[in-house]
Amino acid sequence: MKVVAIQASPHRGNTYDRVERLGEALTALGDVEFEHIALAERDIQPCRGCFVCFMRGEGLCPIQDDRAAIEEKIAGADGVVFATPVHSMHVSTLMKTIVDRLAYTFHRPRYFGKYAVGLAVTGGVGLKEALGYIRMFSGAWGFEYIDELKYTDPPRNTTMPRFMESTDRVDEVAKKLHGLMRSRPPRRVSVNDHLTFHAMRAVYGRLERFSPTDHAYWSERGWLEPRTRYFTQHARVGFLKSIYPRLVAWIMGRSLDRGLANQKPSEE
Ligand SMILES: Cc1cc2nc3c(=O)[nH]c(=O)nc-3n(C[C@H](O)[C@H](O)[C@H](O)COP(=O)(O)O)c2cc1C
């Protein structure tokens, strides 16, 4: 089983050490290959905002750096740890940069069947904001977000005190991730998961002329077929939980139909 950590501290400090410790806990459980990717030690350049990845495909991104290699690592993993220090009440710039560079994944989600763990290290505050963001983007990209590790560690090489003592759940979270990767139970699809699927389908099903790359991606996977109930078949999809999301998507669809009726793709 393979676990990759995407670690977004600009130096080898507290976040680096916390990720190393999680790696040790995971490998001690056996049958785990752990890879720690420190983004600061890779070449990841900021998005230029050209929107080529969204409209024409990520293979045409004009930036030549390690983005594709990192994406390949994520694609080859069973579990991914997204780890960040809290910077200015949020994830670090490095974490935001890699999320922006992979932002087409919000339109074309792909990590179903993989588990995500959030890890954040703060000096005092901001864990909720940073971890909330990791939870949001990993879920939108298809991961099952299973747990998170929160740390309050004073900045290195300073006289700042430790503001909070808390129990380290690293062994518990490692065990949970290990168990899930081994047993791979069908995903429990929540009302929110249904809502994401049906609302996105209402949008991308209507964007054949406006966003053909996204539309083709959805179509090729059978996600636009009326009988398809969720992104992956390895899921427990309760029909009752899908009633409200289907209704919301239907209302959205009608409103989109009205809005799109008189519009032309701007490139035409
Ligand atoms: C640019 C910057 C911004 C920071 N912003 C916050 C913050 O908003 N709230 C906070 O409690 N700590 C903040 N910190 C402190 C770090 O979260 C804390 O020192 C953490 O342990 C750093 O982990 P690291 O060693 O991996 O860099 C900030 C640190 C830096 C360098």
By percentage, how much of the chain surpasses pLDDT 70?
Answer: 99
Ligand 1, atom nearest to 9 Cα: 26
The least confident of 44-58, 114-128, 150-164, 231-245 is: 150-164
- What does the pLDDT average to over 156-175? 89
| Residues contacting ligand 1 via CB (< 6 Å) | 9, 13-15, 85-89, 121-126, 153, 155-156
Counting from 1 in the atom list of ligand 1, the atom nearest the Cα of 126 is 9
Residue nearest to atom 19 of ligand 1 (CA): 155
From atom 31 of ligand 1, which residue's Cα is the shortest distance away? Answer: 87
- Flag whether pLDDT at 264 surpasses 90: no
**Is-contact 174 224, C-beta < 8 A?**
no
CATH match for 2-185 among 3.30.70.1150, 3.40.50.360, 1.20.200.10, 3.30.559.10 = 3.40.50.360
| Protein residue whose Cα sits closest to atom 9 of ligand 1 | 125
Q: What does the domain layout of the chain look like in residue ranges?
A: 2-185, 188-260
Mutating to test ligand 1, I would choose from 41, 87, 89, 94 the residue with most ligand atoms within 8 A of its C-beta, which is 87
Compute the Cα dihedral for 29, 147, 217, 265 and give only its sign: negative
For the cut 80, the answer to whether the pLDDT of residue 268 exceeds it is no
| Tens of pLDDT, residues 110-145 | 999 999 999 999 999 999 999 999 999 999 999 999
| pLDDT value, residue 267 | 57
For residues 7 and 39, what is the distance between their CA atoms, to the nearest angstrom?
Answer: 6
Q: Check residue 253 and give its pLDDT.
A: 96
Q: Is the CB of residue 182 less than 8 Å from the CB of residue 1?
A: yes
pLDDT for position 84: 98
Burial class from Cβ neighbours inside 10 Å (0-12, 13-18, 19+) for residue 10 reads middle
Residue located nearest, by CA, to atom 1 of ligand 1: 87
- Give the mean pLDDT of 137-157: 95
Q: Check: CB of residue 32 under 8 Å from CB of residue 3.
A: yes
Give the number of the atom of ligand 1 that is nearest the alpha carbon of residue 124: 11
**H or E element that contains 69:** helix 67-75
Residue 160 pLDDT: 85
Instruction: Give the tens place of pLDDT for each residue, 76-95.
Output: 999 999 999 999 999 999 99
What spacing in Å lies between the alpha carbon of 33 and ligand 1's midpoint? 29
State the chain's mean pLDDT as an integer: 96
Q: CA 95 to CA 121: how far, in whole Å? A: 13
In this structure, which residue's CA is closest to atom 20 in ligand 1? 122
